[in-house]
Amino acid sequence: MRECFALRIDLTPAHESAPLPRKSLATHFGRLNRALVVPAMPRRWIEFLYRHPKVTFVLMGAFFLLFGFTSVNLFVVLKANIELFLEYGAMVIADGALQQLCEVIGSSYLSIVFYVLFKVCERVLIERLTGKPLGEIREARR
């Protein structure tokens, strides 16, 4: 049988209720941090990139070009779209300005994805060229 979550409302004034202990707050924030952590790239993708440096280099170039293509003029179009909304209000929604705004925001997120993939390929190539993972290079500098 499934449990239902009940909403419990505490009507006790704030000065009468006891503050939450530090441990429970730390536990709560720890759970929140774990929930927000993005999982790492699958290990076999990274291993594939390590095994094939030429393919990694080609992918890095492709991701760089895609990043440039998706981010070109992004700021100018976004600024013009927002100014259009501010000047004419909700009237421009019927003309397709809301759809254009959503497309520009989607393009910016796609641009971020391409940039991150470019940086992953760059990191793999740097680690191959130096012969050490970047974590070891940082520790050696200290």
pLDDT of the residue at 33: 56
At 74-99, the pLDDT tens digits run 888 888 888 888 888 888 888 888 88
The answer to whether residue 50 scores a pLDDT higher than 60 is yes
Instruction: Give the least confident one: 32-36, 49-53, 105-109, 118-122.
Output: 32-36
Token output for 54: 């030429």
pTM above 0.75, yes or no: no
- Are the C-beta atoms of 81 and 97 separated by less than 8 Å? yes
Residue 5 is predicted with a pLDDT of 43
